[in-house]
Structure 1
Amino acid sequence: MPELLLIDDAYLRVTVAAVLDAGKLPAIVQAGHPVLRSRALPFTGQLAPDELARLIEIMTETMRAAPGVGLAAPQIGIPLQLAVLEDQYESTAENAAARDREPLELFTIINPSYQPVGDALASHYEGCLSMSGWQAVVDRPASVELKYDDEHGTAHTATFSGWQARIVQHETDHLFGTLYIDKAHTRSLAGNAEYSTFWANPEVAAAKAGLRF
C-alpha cells in the first residue's frame, strides 16, 4: 500500500526542482492526486527569489496554454500557497453582464485568505483545469476581501466582485485542499459536451429546472 504523502519543505523543494528543471511545461494534475487534497505550505522563504520568479513564470505559461483564468501551485504538484490569476478572454456582452465579468490583469497571490463582503451569493457553472471535462454550478459570495502577499513580499488587501471574486475564491480554495466540486450542486454536474448542448446559458435557471437542483 502506498504511504501517505508527507507534505513538508523537503517535498516542496523536490517538486519545485522537478518543474524548474523539466525544460517543458508541467502537466496539470487531476482530481485524485493527493497534493490537491492537502493543505499547501505557506511560503516562508523556502525558495530563492530567482526560483520563485521562474516558478511564477512557468505557472503563468501553463495557465495560458491550458487555457485557464487561474492556476494554483498544487495543480502542478507543488504544495505551496501560491497561485497566478488572469482573465483577459473575450466574452459576449450577455455573458459578461450575467456573470458580472470584467477583465482581470495578471497577478500573483501568496499565502492568501478571503472573507465574504456582504451576504449576496452568485450561482454559475464553474470548471477546473484539475477536473478536466466537467462543470458544475457553485454558489459563491458575490464579493470578497482578499488578503495576500505578492511575489515581492508586499502585503495587500483588495476587494473583488463578480467573476473576479469567483476566480479568487476558486484558486485560494486550491491552496487549502478544496476543489470546486466540494461546494457545487452535484446534481448540476455536466460533461463539457452536455453543458454545451443543454446548459451553456448566461444564467443557470434552465439547468436548475432541468437537472432539479
Structure 2
Amino acid sequence: MSKLIPVFLTPIFWWRWNCGSRLLYVYLTIGMLVSPALRAGWGLTGELDGRGLFGALRIYNAQWNFNSGLFRWLEKWLQSMGIADSMAQAQEISYFLMFLLLFEVWRQFRYFKTDLRAALRWLAVPLGGYLLLATTVHPWYLLALMPFLPILAPGDDEPKRLWLWPLPWLWLSGFVALSYVTYIDPENLLDLDWVRLVEWLPTLFLLGIALFWGLRKQRRLRPLPS
C-alpha cells in the first residue's frame, strides 16, 4: 500500500502547490520510475516472478485477496451473475471507482485549499477509499489512516456530529485484528465470512450515516471559492 500513498495524496497537494512545485513533482516522479526500471525492467509483462519495477504489484493484483470489504462482495456478486474471472472484473470496477474518488477529491478540494485543518482531513479520504476497495486489507494497512482520525474528530468550535467521520474507521481499526484468526490453522488458511461481517458491516453502516449527513450539509458548510 505504501507505494501508492503518493498517488492517493496528489489530488490534495496539487492545489497547495504552485506551478513550479507541480512540475518538480512530475519530474521527480518520472525520474524515480525510469532510473530503477532501466536497470531492473518495468515488470509489466512476462511471468509473475516479482522481477522489475512493477513485478510485485502484478503479483499483488493477480493473487492477493484477503479480508477485503466492498471488493469481496462485489466479486461474489459478479460471480453470482455468471461473469467469468470475477476477481479481474471486480478489480477493474474498483480501479474505476478509485479513479472517480480521486478525481472528485481533486475537484472538491479547491474550495478548501487555504484551510489547513480541512486539508489534513481531506488527506484521509483517498486512504479510506482505498481500504474500502482494496483486494487485501491486513491490520497494518490501517496505520496509514489512523494518524488522521484525531484530525477528523470535531474541534471545540465544531458540531459534535462530525464524530460521524472518524467512527467508521475507529470501529475497523479496533476489529480488523480479528483477521488473524485465520492463522490459528496455518495448514488451512481461510478467509472467514463471520470475521468480514464483524469488521465491515458496522464500518459501512457508520460510513453510510456519515455520508448522508455530509451530503446533506455540504452546501451549507462549503466555503466560497477564493
Work out whether the TM-score is over 0.5: no
Which protein has the bigger strand share? 1
- TM-score of the two chains, using structure 2 as the length reference: 0.30
Q: Give the structure with higher Rg (CA).
A: 2
Which protein has the bigger helix share? 2
- TM-score of the two chains, using structure 1 as the length reference: 0.31
